[in-house]
Amino acid sequence: MATTGASRDGSEEARVPKSDVLPMLALSTPSIQPIVTALRSQLETDWKAI
């Protein structure tokens, strides 16, 4: 059952857009919020460039 749960969680993570994952990470670990914010702005810049 643990294996099924892990694979299910993995597939769910894969379906979640990065823009939704980063804010959740920032909320769960406030200490890395500046890093997440920087990564987020970099990702947004990359998407605009594409």
pTM of the model: 0.33
The answer to the question of residue 44 being in a domain is: yes
Q: What is the largest CA-CA distance in the chain?
A: 43
Non-local (6+) Cβ contacts of 48 within 8 A are none
| C-alpha count within 13 angstroms, C-beta hemisphere, residue 30 | 0
Non-local (6+) Cβ contacts of 32 within 8 A are 25, 26
How many domains are there within the chain? 1
The answer to the question of residue 46 being in a domain is: yes
Q: What is the pLDDT of residue 49?
A: 79
Q: pLDDT digits over 6-42, tens only?
A: 444 444 555 656 667 767 666 666 677 788 788 889 8
The answer to the question of residue 45 being in a domain is: yes
pLDDT at residue 3 greater than cutoff 60: no
Q: Cα Rg for the chain, rounded, in angstroms?
A: 14
Domain that holds residue 37: 17-50
The answer to the question of residue 9 being in a domain is: no
